[in-house]
């Protein structure tokens, strides 16, 4: 628990928890948006699949009626007694199924030269030749053409009306080409069929031959259904007809998701397209709102946590400052006696555990009371600060510890230092202080120090070392001051 509180106070755990919370919020919102996007996508897929199924089914059903009518007409033409029938009866026999399909134009029987032999038109068509129509040429050149759906054409019977032709070949008894039976389907049939579909904004429906020729596009961009346009350059492979594909229209520049399906049994495809921009317009709006709210919440949360972390940081800095003040001497900037107790306890334990030498120096300024009495306490304080600085410079190894013990006394802890090394450091300190007079406030003050040394023994406790170094210090003072001493030996 203490570790958790410590991490919280340092702000690390708080920042981690905040980051995790923000990531969780962003992750949940992103997942929700992704699910919403997928659902919008599936709605479009379902719509196009259902629409195509209905349209392709309706066209297939009516085209099968046309095909049945053509087959019935071809079968009737093979009756040898046909020509012997009265004209009115012969007309009913030949075209008895013509009314079964919606929006037929006319049904024609053409001879091998493309001339009209029989028709169900009200006008006389005997003077019109259809040998140039693509359905006639295909049936003539290809005995196995079967039921052929032609390219769109302008009717020669009904002025300016557009239609497609559904044709079958007629063979003579010897198998040679004898003519064509053809039924025209007006394009208005497809337009009326497409108009019944409630297309969303930007949507299109397109009936296309498998060679890429547009039979009808709804809505059109030219006012005529874009009849005869070619989509071959942009048409996907027919293997993609069961799935979605994306295309930017050459006609209106709209990017659409498209689905294409065959009209079964006929060389036609029906394509339904939804505007990508409009299909996902609602989703984009929801995404923008969600993103804005998520960013706002995350920003507010981050700002709140930042303010809290800043407050915690200031609190830690204040605590650290108080802690430093508690163990630091304000005059010299050295650690104080409390810090000495903590450090000496650690060093004595380490020395005992690792069986390494440890030395303690007790340093006292000689006749310091005389300095205060003669020059004043301001000079005395400056002398203390200067001597602290010189002691620090002399005991400068990593691990050496210098503190102000109290008054004019200082203590130096020298880890991993035998008695000879301690004497060298002590002598360096003594000489550094004695060699140069301390000049402060325009006054030159000659200062010396006495130093006592204690070297750790196996049974020593922290207090024992301070006491023995203090005893050695008084030995140096009794010997005349400005000296270094330890209990067992004395150095002048």
% of the chain beyond a pLDDT of 70: 84
d(CA 474, CA 445): 23
- In this predicted structure, what is the pLDDT of residue 450? 95
For residue 449, pLDDT beyond 80: yes
Instruction: Give yes or no for a contact between 416 and 358, defined as CB atoms under 8 angstroms apart.
Output: yes
Mean pLDDT of the chain: 82
Neighbours of 349 (CB within 10 A): 11
* Backbone phi, psi, residue 140, to 5°: -70, -40
Identify the band that residue 448 occupies on the pLDDT scale cut at 50, 70 and 90: very high
Q: In 14-98, which ranges are E strands?
A: none
pLDDT digits (tens, 9 = 90+) for 209-249: 888 888 888 887 776 656 766 665 444 544 444 567 777 77
For residue 429, pLDDT beyond 90: yes
Average pLDDT score over residue span 97-117:
74
Identify the band that residue 360 occupies on the pLDDT scale cut at 50, 70 and 90: very high
- In this predicted structure, what is the pLDDT of residue 133? 92
> Token pair of 260, please?
């294409």
For residue 492, pLDDT beyond 50: no
Average pLDDT score over residue span 412-432:
93
For residue 402, pLDDT beyond 90: yes
Task: Write the CB contacts of 219 (distance below 8 Å, at least 6 apart in sequence).
Answer: 199, 204
- H or E element that contains 14: helix 12-77
How many Cα atoms sit within 13 Å of 77 on the Cβ side? 24
Higher model confidence: residue 81 or residue 146?
146
pLDDT digits (tens, 9 = 90+) for 12-57: 777 777 788 888 888 888 888 888 888 888 888 888 888 888 999 9
Q: In 407-467, which ranges are E strands?
A: 409-415, 438-440, 443-445, 449-455
- In this predicted structure, what is the pLDDT of residue 364? 95
* Backbone phi, psi, residue 449, to 5°: -130, 155
Higher model confidence: residue 181 or residue 238?
181
Task: Write the CB contacts of 50 (distance below 8 Å, at least 6 apart in sequence).
Answer: none
Neighbours of 28 (CB within 10 A): 11
């Amino acid at each position: 628990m203490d570790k958790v509180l410590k991490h919280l106070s340092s702000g690390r755990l708080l920042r981690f928890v905040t980051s995790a919370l923000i990531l969780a919020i962003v992750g949940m919102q992103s997942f929700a948006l992704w699910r919403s996007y997928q659902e919008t996508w599936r709605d479009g897929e379902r719509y196009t699949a259902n629409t195509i199924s209905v349209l392709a089914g309706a066209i297939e059903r009516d085209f099968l009626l046309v095909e049945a009518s053509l087959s019935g007409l071809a079968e009737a033409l093979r009756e040898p007694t046909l020509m012997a029938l009265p004209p009115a009866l012969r007309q009913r026999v030949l075209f008895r199924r013509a009314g079964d399909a919606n929006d037929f134009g006319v049904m024609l029987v053409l001879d091998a030269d493309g001339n009209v032999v029989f028709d169900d038109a009200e006008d006389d068509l005997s003077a019109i030749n259809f040998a140039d129509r693509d359905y006639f040429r295909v049936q003539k050149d290809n005995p196995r053409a079967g039921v052929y759906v032609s390219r769109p054409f302008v009717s020669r019977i009904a002025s300016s009306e557009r239609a497609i032709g559904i044709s079958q070949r007629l063979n003579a008894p010897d198998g040679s080409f004898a003519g064509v039976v053809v039924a025209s389907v007006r394009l208005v049939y497809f337009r009326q069929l497409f108009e019944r579909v409630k297309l969303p904004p930007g949507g299109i429906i397109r009936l296309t031959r498998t060679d890429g020729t547009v039979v009808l596009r709804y809505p059109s961009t030219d006012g005529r259904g874009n009849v005869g346009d070619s989509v071959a350059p942009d048409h996907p492979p027919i293997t993609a007809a069961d799935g979605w594909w994306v295309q930017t229209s050459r006609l209106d520049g709209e990017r659409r998701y498209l689905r294409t399906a065959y009209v079964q049994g006929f060389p036609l495809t029906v394509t339904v397209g939804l505007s990508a921009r409009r299909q996902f317009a609602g989703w984009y709006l929801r995404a923008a709102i969600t993103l804005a709210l998520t960013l706002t919440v995350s920003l507010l949360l981050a700002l709140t946590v930042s303010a809290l972390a800043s407050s915690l940081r200031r609190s830690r800095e204040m605590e650290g400052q108080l802690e430093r003040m508690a163990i630091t001497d304000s005059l010299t900037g050295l650690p104080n006696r409390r810090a000495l107790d903590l450090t000496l306890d650690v060093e004595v334990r380490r020395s005992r555990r690792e069986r390494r030498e440890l030395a303690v120096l007790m340093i006292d300024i000689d006749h310091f009371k005389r300095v205060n009495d003669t020059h004043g306490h301001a000079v005395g304080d400056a002398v203390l600060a200067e001597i602290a600085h010189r002691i620090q410079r002399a005991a400068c190894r990593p691990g050496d510890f210098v503190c102000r013990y109290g008054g004019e006394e200082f203590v130096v802890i020298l880890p991993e230092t035998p008695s000879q090394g301690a004497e060298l450091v002590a002598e360096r300190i003594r000489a550094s202080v004695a060699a140069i007079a301390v000049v402060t406030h325009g006054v030159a003050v000659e200062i010396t120090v006495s130093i006592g040394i204690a070297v750790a023994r196996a049974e020593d406790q922290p207090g024992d070392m301070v006491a023995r170094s203090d005893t050695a210090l008084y030995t140096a003072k009794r010997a005349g001051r400005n000296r270094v001493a330890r209990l067992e030996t004395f150095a002048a």
